[in-house]
Structure 1
């Protein structure tokens, strides 16, 4: 058996009974969930820009006048008064942003032979980005292929059988329930369209069109059904568009449909696979030997059975590598140039009013969606997030000025399709947190750190600078000269004062200072790299030096607040005060050993009190432990993510489904194999004993490197480093014995701490060999 057929597909031996057992497809903009039913099939549909309502201006007009009082109340310990006034004066008006919505369903009623179903398989082929459904009834073999094409901007369904004239079915395109749809419009005998508008006069207008292309047989319309009889095969093409992007979404749908229909099915499939493979095929991962799947009994086991086997205590390295690649598949499918960024559910949502509005939660969840983008060699998939950040600048300037009297731009803990920056909800543990734009802007800096793209940095620098400028105005000075955010929160956590009073609003929580340290550092380094803005660089450097230093509390933990308060939930899902460990780099094992030890204590305390109980939180724990270079703890959390926070189709379970845990888990697995946040390539920094051998190819590292690494049970390893930028390459591993280029040894310097350094040329490939 070929190993790839074990670990490059998610497959089941039965149809999906529930939405979270269905298989996702997507092209960044169009998404579908394929159930794989016999008889009656459902493909649930999404379009990334179909949101309720239009833009709103929600900046609270009373914020600025009341801000000084709120600040003084917090500084003087009058928490209840500060909470009451902030809830009224610092919340958005109205309190809520817009929410994401489903498009509808594509329903197929298949006229099949009578008899017992056998040899059923439903699979998502990760190598090609295609869902396949195959089964037999008697002597007839029925097949379906479903994919969402990026080059042709269409969802494509192919129905066929091994019997001539064996494809007969009724097809219906329906809008999502309980939402206004203008009804079904007949365009021609083989084409229908639905359209409508969401939420009031300024709501988003949408349109979706479906065309049937039958090979033989007949096609006709009866009511809302397209009826196909006696075809050898049938291809369904579906397009969708909204007024968010197009003045005339109706005609846009039909133009895209006509363009796709002009290509034969084989060409559509090949164009899709060529486009998709160009991204997905950059990275491979094998954990264990070729024979492991056979020896473990997982080679012929459906994915849900493998997952259940893990829940019962078994281990499955193949499923770990499958999960990693599934995360990359999801990012490719939900975030492509020109699309919106992946929201709280990627693009896959079937609820009219989804949990947390399925929008962009930017106090970690949206950022976590993009943690694997650079290290996972999917840099282009990062672009939709950059586009959203740019659209947030104008809204964020207005919020900064109107609510705080500050320059620059600001965002809070949520945004939506309209790049809304005013506070969301009236929920004191989260609402009044001004760090959303600052954290998002660090993704701009990370993209530059990985790619070395100076043209990109020149464009991004103004955005980073503007986020920093807000805080040069917003930060308030304490009597001892330190600069702190006021008011703010440590996201979603609650502290307890010595008198037993609890609070959420606070002054200078640790996460804020850590984010600002990272943002100010990025601005300083960016301005230096670009040779610009020396005066601003000095201002930011001076402000950075006055931020509160990280503190170690009485339990030996990283202190979460400015004072060493107890927390109301010691096992809280947010671990915000370790931002500087990951995704930041202010805490490192060798650079700040005391803080790294305190971070370990923090994690131990969280876990001892039930931490990691949501999928995304467990994924964050994986990255934390990887940065602490503890392979065994990292691996235990990988197992926990799969065993306790993963749905049957491998979607992350908050609960309910949120996609951030998938992306965070993928990033964490990569972080176990290659790290680059300290100015050096660190090979296999958190390798567990459960992975005695394996191979990863195509991972990216800061400094413009692409890394392949292979390791053996006897401790030997080989790494290939491809440099896209010239410069000094520093590599850390236990023992590096040889560095070659084109087979010839090259000179390198060896430092006492186990790092070797050599001068890399752009475009050159280097092979390093050593022993763990």
Structure 2
């Protein structure tokens, strides 16, 4: 991997989430993470709940069996039915090409700290905070004995979660317990709790009706991923007492300061290794981690954590203007609510949301080959929504849209490594489900085992279960990473993966009326209305299939040219692109989604997959394909602005690419629409897509992709780039007429810092990582700059 963008500057603005009461619901609690371990902190005063996660704790085992052998044999039947325009029966037949569901991401457990005194009656001056500039959460309040403070952080260098409790007057009286929804046992010795358990060796999603609810998870002590958790309470010598009980609890009595260390390791040892028989020595590893951390003081652990975290977070600063003091002084949830209900101006909240996306990515994406999942890292449910898996028809990829532009390229690595795993299982899927021995593909879902087959168990709705373009989509991240880093070694190593995805796409195409199309195909989760009134998903020549295929082929071709290899492959791509069915504009002026100009069952559907070529793709643009860009704009106009969280994040980026600053900002505000916690039952409950009180994305329920999509969208409004140029302030809204940003990254290996006023750039600095040339577009002018490696130039 190459050197990455570095332009650390002091961050400006408010970088603290603040609340004046404990969290009652998950969507109010504060999340911390070190990329592998995560915690959700509620900030209770009588009982403190801290939910724990490990990103490698999943149900299942390596995905080595084909659920539906020879499924590809159904293809001629499906294609024949489609050729006869028999969509009803084609829909039924398409279910024959479905395999098993993904496995499920699991919660590790919960640490509770129960205080022994009757403090809840004497609480005042309560404060709960998350400082994302330091990645430290704090709970503080006064009680009858003085000030109680709890500090929490998740250290990546030491691979532990740290909690420091302080009550300087009379000391702390509390009991520590660990519980888990998984099969486990816990014991305590001295000042330490040790818990051990295991996940199910197989699970089914909550929405699958083929098994009873009590059989969704299948357990066997000899199978599945194991875990061991150690929780140690360390007090200063002579400062009170810490002791254990046979019940598996640890009690703190009279200590004025206690450091609680939490370590966990699972037996997961790779996507193709049996975690029970080929797993890591998790017991030895967790013991080693605990011993190493326990030798350090709290101050040493904190310093190491902050230094490590700020190496990444401090690279980018953003100032969109000042918020009125009367608003900025309010708790974050109240600011969010007023922002929604009274349409208040709050540029500091808007900038905080952007930086919070960067905080979340650093916190949940640092484990090699295990990317951020549907909820990033933080899940409390044993049967979570959509298995908390990787949904590859948008959500997995959206998690990483800001990785390069927001100067967090290292956090892209877990996904990039995961693609290599997908290519291996995906080659089997290409052969067994789609009848091609060239390349690899990926269906609607995947999991830690890199499953790639189309899901559904022959009962799934084809609108989502029968999609197969995940490999084409996710592989574009390889080329994107290269464009930002110019790391030829990385490109050479990963080029076979990109080529394999392109080979599948070309082999999957069929000819109809002299043009290449896909058949069968779907447009993710959307449905059409056929002339006879039939509502279906299975069809042919869908725009989203062809858009993702085009982008994949264009990327693979450019990669081959860059590496000066595979001339025959390049020629094959050129011939294929020339014969692919072109984009078409529908009767409403929209970009046509289906082969026939049919209406959608839901005109405001959350998915806009057929706009892929505009964003995150690059082959539709306002300057190169203005007619298609206008059709994309019309499509978005028809869809409106009421949708889910992740979809709203996507639309911010689409409008930004259209240079539509007014709508880009309007949709960004929609993304920050205040949503009540899911289980909140009050009369003033607000439902829908937007943002929860703790700033996590509301699909709803919680999905983290909207946070990352919104983060990426801010940069798309401020800067856009391609292989040869950088455009500054392409979709800057009037509300951000003055501001400054530093450290954002552009394609070509450039880092940009600038200030602007009255919507015009006033100062501009560009740094080149590898050396190169780019043309800058700003203030109605263009200027070409040529830089050497690591050279910085003040353009103005």
TM-score (norm 2): 0.90
Range with greater deviation from structure 2 (539-548 or 415-424): 539-548
1:353 to 361, 383, 400: 383
Matches within 5 A, 1:89-488: 89-92=96-99, 95-112=100-117, 114=119, 115-138=121-144, 140-163=146-169, 166-176=171-181, 179-181=182-184, 183-199=185-201, 200=220, 201-215=222-236, 216-222=239-245, 223-245=247-269, 246-289=279-322, 292-294=323-325, 297-312=326-341, 313-338=343-368, 340-406=370-436, 407-425=438-456, 426-478=460-512, 480-488=513-521
Work out the CA distance in 2 between the residues paired with 1:459 and 1:4.
36
The answer as to 2:91 corresponding to 1:83 is: yes
The alpha carbon displacement at 1:158 in A equals: 0.5
Secondary structure at the counterpart of residue 593 of structure 2 = coil
CA distance in structure 2 between the aligned counterparts of 1:589 and 1:718, rounded to whole angstroms: 26
> Which residue of 708, 711, 725 maps to 1:666?
711
* SS in structure 2 at match of 1:634: helix
Is 1:552 paired with 2:585? Answer: yes
Are positions 1:705 and 2:726 aligned together? no
Matches of 1:573 and 1:389, distance apart in 2: 26
Give the structure 1 partner of residue 216 of structure 2: none
Range moving further from structure 2, 224-233 or 366-375: 224-233
User: Taking structure 1 as reference, are residues 382 and 54 closer, same or farther at Cα in structure 2, changes over 3 Å only?
Assistant: same
Q: Tell me the distance in 2 between the aligned counterparts of 1:533 and 1:637.
A: 43
Superimposed CA distance per residue, residues 309-335 of structure 1 (whole angstroms, 9 cap, x where no aligned partner) = 112121211100000000000000000
Other structure's SS at 2:691 match:
coil
State the distance in 2 between where 1:197 and 1:727 align.
50
Q: Does 1:54 align with 2:61?
A: yes
Report if the CA contact (8 A) 2:499-2:556 is conserved: yes
Which gives a bigger RCO, structure 1 or 2 (Cα 8 Å, sep 6+)?
2
Confirm or deny: 8 A CA contact 1:48 1:339 kept in the other structure: no
1:59, 1:399 within 8 Å by CA — same for their partners in 2? Answer: no
In the aligned structure 2, how far is the partner of 1:59 from the partner of 1:69? 20
Query: Secondary structure of the equivalent of 1:756?
Result: strand
SS at match of 2:188: strand
| 1:491 aligned to which of 524, 531, 541 | 524
1:728 aligns with 2:773: yes
1:563 is aligned to 2:570: no
Please give the residue correspondences for 1:596-675 in structure 2 after superposition, counting only pairs within 5 Å: 596-607=629-640, 611-644=641-674, 645-675=690-720
Moved more, 154-163 or 196-205: 196-205
Deviation of 1:235 (Å) = 0.7
**CA–CA separation in structure 2 for the residues paired with 1:167 and 1:539:** 71
Return the offset for 1:210: 0.9
* Unmatched runs of 5 consecutive residues or more in structure 2: 1-9, 202-219, 270-278, 675-689
Change (3 A) 1:187 1:629: same
Structure-2 change in CA distance of 1:5 and 1:455 (3 Å): closer
Counterpart check, 1:761 vs 2:788: yes
CA distance in structure 1 between the aligned counterparts of 2:485 and 2:140, rounded to whole angstroms: 42
**Is the 2:136–2:151 Cα contact (8 Å) retained in structure 1?**
yes
Q: 2 CA distance for matches of 1:456 and 1:260? A: 34
Counterpart of 2:210? none
- Give the total of aligned pairs: 734
Whole-angstrom distance in 1 between the partners of 2:189 and 2:550: 58
Q: 2-side partners of 1:376 and 1:685: how far apart?
A: 17
Asked if the contact 2:49–2:110 (Cα under 8 Å) also holds between the matched residues in 1, the reply is: yes
Structure 2 counterpart SS, 1:347 = coil
Per-residue deviation at 1:715? 3.8
User: 8 Å contact 2:226–2:266 — kept in the other structure?
Assistant: yes
How much does 1:59 deviate? 4.0
Instruction: Compute the displacement of 1:188 (Å).
Output: 4.5
Aligned residue number for residue 743 of structure 1: none
Equivalent residue in structure 2 for 1:689, among 711, 734, 737: 734
Residue aligned with 1:430, SS: helix
Shift of 1:339: 6.2
Structure 1: distance between partners of 2:426 and 2:789: 39
